[in-house]
Structure 1
Amino acid sequence: MVFDIKAIMQNLPHRYPFLMVDRVIEFVKNKRIVALKNVTINEPFFQGHFPDTPIMPGVLIVEAMGQAGGVLVTQSLPPENQGKLIYFMGFDDVRFRKPVVPGDQLILELEMLKLRSKVVKMAGVAKVDGKIVAEAKLMAAYGD
């Protein structure tokens, strides 16, 4: 199952300039999602991070993972919980391996580890050209 930007925007409350997922290229309900973010020089954060050597901030890479995970969770919830906001509670074991620069295509792969009554745990990696650039474990709550 593939989601274009319109479908992503139906699943996430984020909008420009904070929407960090451009397309979902693989989705397995309750299990896994693979999404992509095209990193361009037009990103507003590159004006200050860093003007002479533009690098995507690590926290925004993790945010992109979180947003991809948000689509996974939203699409995995039962119908009575559809449309509820997802709030990230924590990130563990975060590691950054390589810089992400303009022109890169960031591939976000998240696997659902646990989905409980109102809490979800996921493990994610971000890749560029098949190489891991970041990884993290994410925990979120959903509901009112």
Structure 2
Amino acid sequence: MPLLNQEQIKEIIPHRDPFLLIDEIEEMEPGVRVVAKKYLKEDEFWFAGHFPGHPVQPGVLTIEMLAQAGAVCILSMPEYKGKIALFGGIDKARFRGEVKPGDTLRLEVEMLKLRKSFGTGKATAYVGDQRVANTEIMFAIGE
């Protein structure tokens, strides 16, 4: 049973279909860490063109999924309710495996630094026990 389902996630972050890219929150300590999941269906819009006959999730979408999980973690804090989290930067991104239709992506984000209007998080994506991507994400809190 998830801690937050997609409808509850929509109460925290402004993303909507087709760009709400996380399905549930499994664990969360607001402002500290979060674990989210994305269940990749064969009919996700990006698989048709990336790549026909060999569908693979674009790495940038994995980074976006990690960022959305991090946004839920930050925007769940009372002082950030109703605000938005914007990308400030992406550092040290590494892709270590393919993400394919049918995979369940586990998205883990740990906040390294949080100031009044910006912060940094360490983000890692897994399929099963295999790490498929990791990066540091910087974000700004906007109105």
C-alpha separation between the residues in 2 aligned to 1:77 and 1:115?
A: 14
For normalisation by structure 1, the TM-score amounts to 0.95
1:38, CA displacement in angstroms? 0.4
Partner of 1:88: 87
Where structure 1 has 5 or more consecutive residues not aligned to the other structure, the ranges are: none
C-alpha separation between the residues in 2 aligned to 1:47 and 1:77?
A: 40
Instruction: Return the letter of the residue paired with 2:98.
Output: P
Where structure 2 has 5 or more consecutive residues not aligned to the other structure, the ranges are: none
1:44, CA displacement in angstroms? 0.5
For normalisation by structure 2, the TM-score amounts to 0.96
- Tell me the alpha carbon deviations over residues 5-59 of structure 1, each in whole angstroms, 9 at most, x when there is no partner: 1111111111111111000000012211000000111100111001100000000
Q: How much identity, in percent, do the aligned residues show?
A: 40
Structure 2 counterpart SS, 1:72: helix
Question: How many residue pairs end up in the alignment?
Answer: 142
Instruction: Return the letter of the residue paired with 1:37.
Output: K
- What is the 5 A alignment of 1:1-144? 2-78=3-79, 81-144=80-143
Higher normalized helix content (fraction of residues)? 1
C-alpha separation between the residues in 1 aligned to 2:112 and 2:102?
A: 31
Q: Segments of 4+ in structure 1 off by > 3 A?
A: none
